Structure 1
Amino acid sequence: MIFYQVNRILYKPHIINKFLRNVHTETTSSSNILYPLKSRGLLKVTGDDASVFLQGLITNDMNHFEEGTKSMYAMFLNNKGRVLYDTLIHKWNKEESFLIECDRKLVNVLQKHLKLYKLKRKVNIEDVNDEYLLYALKSTNVKDVSNEKINVYKDPRLTELGYRVISSVDVKDSDVAQTVGNDVVTESNEDGYKYLRYKLGVSEGADDLPPGTSFPLEANCDYLHGVSFHKGCYIGQELTARVHHTGVVRKRIMPLKFNETISNNIERDSVISASSNPKSNLGKLKGVVNNYGLGLLRIKEALDAKILSVANYSAEAQKPAWWPIEAPKELLKSE
């Protein structure tokens, strides 16, 4: 009798389809893929004052490196608290040596920004894009590599984003793939990595965060371990701290799931509205890859609207699973 019931349940088409979807998802997600990040660039900051120098310019705390951290997510802000450059900072070989990863288009601008505040500090800032290549590695079996040619760093933002790989330019992609893991496939571009970011709801680079337009908490910098609220002063700190302590962040970067694959180019910063109210303005589009997009959205309104309209396409705003669970207002009041 029990055997018959089990078979009857397995025979139901929707159960079988659900099972097949899960198998497909697990198979796909277990792939080991190396994406070349040609959209990202590197600056090397070295010198006796390198750590102290960066401490006064970034949202995160450089002291984490003394505690064993190898990579850190951080933003450089202007004096009005808006994001200029979103970066990953990687500890390099020497004691006071760091590689700052940022949008390739902004490497020179960031270098000038750093030199502006250098003053008489013992710091050297150089563009090293002719020396190193950057990769994103999506893998479940990664080798811990750290040598003169290849270095592997765990992405400090989310586990789902995998790893960053920095290699010398004289190392072939195939050799990098063979060195960092087993059965690693190398892609020819970073479209797959961008799709992964959009599906997770993670912004990166000037296309998603045009310099001087967004606040760090709107870009989920706090949720992605990119801001310290316990360190000393840094440029743009006052407004960031005030917004954090008031707990009022009405807009955030969120994933948008479209009802179809988008083959046409949709203009960036297109207005996102509720389908039931075309005149409403719930946010702006940052980009689209296949059936997922990224938008800076009014959180409550976008989630309440259910169906959104973006340049005549229908989409749904999704609350990322990695966002922290918010405490009930009653609990906050009692505290």
Structure 2
Amino acid sequence: MARNFIEYARYVLDTIAEGADVATFAAARLRPPPPDQAKALTEEFLRLEISSAEYVAPTARFYEITFNQQKFLGLVNIPIGEDALTELESVGIYSVDASEALLLASAKEMNLQKSTALTLDELEEVILSQQDDAEFYKGHDIFEILEHFEKITYYNVAANSAFHGRELSEVAYRIATYSQTLVNPKLRSFIDQYRALLSYPGAFMKRNIFWSLTSTHNKHAFLELYRCIESVYTLPRALALKRKAGLTIAGHQVAKMCVEELNWRRKEEDSLKQIFLLIPASEYQRLPLSSFDHDKSEGWAFTVADDFKKKCDQFSDPYI
């Protein structure tokens, strides 16, 4: 369905005026763009594509935006500081200034809501009375209005960036690690390790890694990381099946098919033993486990992990 400029403009104006009693605001309108930009902005407004939302917190979300075969990222309620922008630029992620067309399309399709920072009296004085000056009124500036909505920022990824070609969710998670409102303060000392995991090009459960970083409960932070390695327990038997059946597909794909088609269930402690046995003994020289007996190490590791989970379960305060 083609976008309708009047409908989208009305959404912005009605949302900013919600709860206020300003009779003259019915005559309000958005200021039209300069004539030399109108054609290009109209084309952009009609042709750009905005995905559905993916949430990283109850109100924090991101969207994929496509225009002229270029992809951008729109983040709502994920503000970051200037220092963070500089760091992101060093890895090829750049903040983008939005056009009137992009802002107007975003406001409605991202369901942007009015900020509560201004009181209705302040809003009436700053925004909702402009149309009363009939001599000078040319329409409301959409940039000024949207300063009083939920915070939205836009980013793109440079062609030479390590993040180029990746899922935009990975880019969003990396950006969001700089948010002071999302990251658990008690996990900030591990932020470099989290960013390294989120930046790694491998295909693994980065959403769970990010959820771990933003969890307010220690137990939940641990469990989200634990979910990232659960599938490892299926690998020893999947690799054995691959060898005996003469399969050529990757071991993790064999494991996935066995779980989905045969309803395999992992046996954690025994599988840990099998994993240790798959690792050449020479590799243990660099690990504290080098002094452990192969036949006992899997029980030790499983006991430590299980004990940690049980201790986490004892916490009753969700902010501990």
- TM-score (structure 2 length as normaliser): 0.25
Higher helix share: 2
Higher relative contact order (CA 8 A, sep 6+): 1
Determine which structure has more spread, i.e. the larger CA radius of gyration. 2
Structure number with higher strand proportion: 1
